[in-house]
A and B are shown apart, each in its own frame.
Chain A
């Protein structure tokens, strides 16, 4: 498979790919985490009242 050769070589294609995947996943989890946190924090407030 010639077109897959040198995957670790410059320009670090596998590194960039992993960076993209991990970065996007982390950011998505972060945003969803914010949504979940806010959902919970408002729910708790309602119970208190």
Chain B
């Protein structure tokens, strides 16, 4: 934008004095009061709930369970369902990058500077769903995980270990292999990668999740696609489908005992 146009635009956005108020005293006093209240709350909390200090750090005794700080417990809870490279590195990175691209993939001119759900339903729903997922995982990590990172309901006795005869987890490719009686021999060899037929099916299923997810809105909600354009649409759909993929994988594991959806020599999902 040219400087002159920018100045014009700024001037147009400048409101008349009736629409604005002096910062002193109007805003400064709100800030002062909120700061005083916050200080009071912090002092109160500091007095009633002191900072914990456990035994001296020792590499010889591992506490059970070992918990990360509460704000990371959502990610630690994901470790139950995903390998560390996903739960600890790739998914958090995707959250950060996903948050960064939000302003660039939301071309909706409505809802700038005021609360509205009705004018931007998809973005608000998408964001709050992600937020809900983040918080529920933290709640689980803080209050529902105990010894051995087992699940403890509030009424369970948290001092006894849960039975170790937990369910047996199976990879998706083995389920497919047994279900359709497919051969366990590799069909080809690509370096360390020697996939069986069922392994190739899992790769196709994994890619198919994204392919179908990208295609359905394109076919049925063409308006949505047109509003976003090619690049924005692909970014939005990639992050949205990945976000939905997290609880989906968790359910597959919880209900069907599936450990990995996709197994390669380098990584497992």
Contact = CB atoms under 8 A, between A and B. Distances in A.
Interface of A: 3-4, 6-7, 9-17, 19-20, 23-28, 30-32, 35-36, 38-39, 42
A1 to B, nearest CB: 9
B177 to A, nearest CB: 12
Contacts of A12: 151, 153
A11 B167 contact: yes
Nearest to B166: A11
A21 to B, nearest CB: 8
B247 A20 contact: yes
Given A3-B175, A4-B256, A11 B150 contact: yes
B115 A39 contact: yes
Contacts of B247: 20, 24
Given A16-B254, A32-B125, 19 more contacts: A3-B170, A6-B167, A10-B162, A10-B165, A11-B150, A11-B167, A12-B151, A12-B153, A15-B153, A20-B254, A23-B132, A24-B132, A24-B133, A27-B136, A28-B132, A35-B116, A36-B117, A39-B116, A42-B114
> Ordered nearest first, which 5 A-B pairs have the shortest CB separation?
A27-B132, A31-B128, A38-B115, A23-B136, A28-B132
Contacts of B116: 35, 39
B220 to A, nearest CB: 23
A3 B253 CA distance: 10
22 contacts: A3-B170, A3-B256, A9-B167, A10-B166, A11-B150, A11-B162, A11-B166, A12-B153, A13-B167, A20-B140, A20-B250, A20-B254, A24-B132, A26-B132, A27-B131, A27-B135, A28-B128, A28-B131, A28-B132, A31-B128, A32-B125, A35-B128
